[in-house]
Amino acid sequence: MAAGWEGGQQRARAVASSIIRPFVRSAVLPSVWLFLACGSPGATSRNTLVDSRDIYDPRSLDPALSTDVPTGRAVGYLFDGLTRFDPEAKVEPALAERWDVTPDGKTYTFHLRRGVRFHDGTPFVAKHVVHSWQRVLDPAVKGGRGEPLYPIIGAREYAAGTAKSINGLSAPNDSTIVTQLTEPLAFFPKLLAMPVAAIVPLNPPPNFDEHPVGTGPWKLVEWKHDDYLLFSRFDAYYGGAPKADSLRARIIAEPSTAVAEFESGNVDVLQIPAGEASEWEADESRKSLLMSTPALQLVYVAINTTRGPLTDARVRQAINHAIDVARINERLISGRGTLAAGVIPPALAGYDSARQPYRYDPARAKELLAAAGHPNGIDIELWTSTNPIFLRIAETIQAYLNASGIRTKIVQRESAAARGAARKGQTDLFIKDWYADYPDAENFLYPLLYSGNAGVGGNVSFYSNPAYDRVVTEARRELDEAKRNMLYRQADSIAFQDAPMVFMYFYNELYAVQPWVKGFVPPVIFNGQRWLNVSIRHDPRP
């Protein structure tokens, strides 16, 4: 769902913000800070944790339909998978207490936790796993997000409606699940922590999406569409009940409104928009509220390697050399980015800290262009969605490219239209981001650049290099961690040389957290924070 997440974020920001934000930035914000100096509340009398991060209504609370960030987060509160992520995005046991893998890497045996109960008291057993996963893949559910389960033998056939059961999935007894994979896949346990693989009761009723029953730490109290979701603590949670009584996830479409709610003390956690980070960091009274985390998000410009002069790697390298990414990072996103020299984020194994990003060098860019047979430059189109940050980055890139003889025309389309065009291969350059589904380098290397994923699979560079494909395929199968990480690094290096994209930056998210909130750790991955250890402190701080 990688960029399902990404697409969602981008979409909602584009919708609400593209209309409002430019004005907010130029006119309202300065006055905001002026006004706000008048006072921040020092304590709260609430007992409910309030989150403000959802910018649109979850699609559903049914894990089988989970494709966007608000849905994925809520599913994480209500349900458990066999595994889960902690805030640092480490995979840890959840409904599976532990698991073994055969030496060939193809058979995983999950030993399930005993004594776990659903919110309605039903004991959790192995057949729930089988049923849940069949349901996700069932064509009648129209979810379409069964991909994390595709590695299991027979899963694809079941999803296509050509098989009656999933051959590679069995429950030999109430507390064991055996999965046989079509090929070794070292990060399989990580896939099972994705919301779509969460475990639901047998035969969920038709209104399950609004009245979910799971084994997760929170129960749903009510869901007011486009307004909020209210959860209460599930006291019998096997991992120990959450510290707070209840949790309210508010849906606030406009970031400036979320800021106002934070300033009024009505919400506890705020995700600060990229363009506003420096204003928060510069404010002494606010600095102490800030928390930063390296989100697994890559912002890049896909270069379609099958179009005109862009088929030549030298031209693509020239484009990389022509853009001063460091300056863009500093000026447009308050330096919140870590410059990219490949697609693997620094937070993940396989990242190569020794590899340096493309140097900003317009002279070198012109040389490369001339060497590729374009001494008089080239003409290209740079596509962008209405996301305000992307639009400003696109304008800056345009200026840099024009200066190096790469005459660039910006094409701006609404997100769904821009994405559609890129998938069909109609874009030269397309600025976008990618937010990881699961914390593994593979989740960047494989969808973004593997030739088999060209187009709808996520590779909108249409990059195809057999050497790269081979290394990535080998890495996916490699069970030895050190070897796998080496292969990841090697693949990343090949892609970096071939430059099927402008490597921009990995975004480090900035959060503001109220002083009365205890125990909140900003999550590296969207479903990594389930508010178990977060509480509200009522005694005023000294």
Partner 1 sequence: MSSFILRRLLLAIPTLFGVLVVAFLLLYVAPGDPVQSMIGERADSATITRLRAQLHLDDPLPVRFGHYVGSVVRGDLGRSYITNRPITQDIRERFPKTMQLAGAAMLLASFLGISLGILSARNPGGFADRFALGLAYLGISFPVYWVGLLLILLFAVTLHWLPPSGYGGLRFLILPALTLGMRSIAFLARMTRSAMLEALNADFVRTARAKGLTEWTVTVRHALRNAMIPVITVLGLDFGAYLTGSILTETIFSWPGIGRYVVNAISRRDLPAIQGTVLFLSTVFVLVNLITDLAYAKADPRVSYR
List the interface residues with partner 1, window 218-277 (CB under 8 A).
Answer: 224-228, 250-254, 256-257, 260-261, 263-264, 266
Question: Segment contacting partner 1 (CB under 8 A): 349-357, 412-420, 482-490, 492-500?
Answer: 412-420
* 84, two tokens: 């889960």
Strand 429-435 versus strand 290-303 pairing type: antiparallel
Q: Are 172 and 463 in contact (CB under 8 A)?
A: no
Interacting positions 58-77 with partner 1 (CB under 8 A): 59-60, 65, 67-68
The minimum distance between CB 84 and partner 1, in angstroms, equals 20
| Minimum CB distance to partner 1, residue 113 (Å) | 30
Q: Are 3 and 443 in contact (CB under 8 A)?
A: no
How many CB atoms lie under 10 A from the CB of residue 205?
Answer: 10
CB 278 within 8 A of CB 290: no
CA distances from 188 to 105, 193, 251, 383, 428 (A): 10, 9, 32, 35, 34
Q: How far is the CB of 57 from partner 1 (least distance, A)?
A: 7
Closer residue to partner 1 (CB): 459 or 535: 459
Give the total of residues touching partner 1 (CB under 8 A). 79
Across the chain, which distance is largest between two alpha carbons, in Å? 73
Interaction between residue 151 and partner 1 (CB under 8 A) = no
How many C-beta neighbours within 10 Å does residue 332 have? 18
Distance CA 184, CA 479 (A): 8
Binding mask 190-209 for partner 1 (x = CB under 8 A): -------------------x
Site for partner 1 in 92-131 (CB under 8 A): none
CB of 381 to partner 1, least distance (A): 15
- 325 touches partner 1 by CB under 8 A: no
* One-letter identity of residue 80: D
The residue (of 268 and 437) whose beta carbon lies closer to partner 1 is: 437
* H helix runs in 161-249, sequence order: 188-191
In sequence order, which residues have a C-beta less than 8 Å from that of residue 103 and are 6 or more positions away?
Answer: none
d(CA 389, CA 424) in angstroms, rounded, equals: 24
What gap in Å lies between CA 437 and CA 440, rounded to an integer?
9
> Least CB distance from residue 524 to partner 1, whole Å?
19
482 is an interface residue for partner 1 by CB under 8 A: no
Long-range pairs for 45-49: beta carbons < 8 A, 24 or more residues apart: 45/538, 46/536, 47/244, 47/245, 47/246, 47/536, 48/230, 48/244, 48/245, 48/246, 48/247, 48/248, 49/244, 49/246, 49/247, 49/248, 49/268, 49/517, 49/531, 49/534, 49/535, 49/536
Between 195 and 342, CB nearer to partner 1: 195
| Nearer residue to partner 1 within complex by CB, 264 or 497 | 264
Site for partner 1 in 433-452 (CB under 8 A): 437, 447
Per CB under 8 A, which region of 106-114, 142-150, 461-469, 515-523 contacts partner 1?
142-150
Nearer to partner 1, 156 or 316 (CB): 156
The interface region with partner 1, picked from 167-175, 413-421, 466-474, 495-503 by CB under 8 A, is 413-421
Contacting partner 1 within 495-524 (CB under 8 A): none
Minimum CB–partner distance for residue 518 and partner 1 (Å): 24
Task: Name which position in 70, 458, 500, 523 contacts partner 1 (CB under 8 A).
Answer: 458
304 binds partner 1 (CB under 8 A): no
Contact call for residue 24 and partner 1 (CB under 8 A): yes
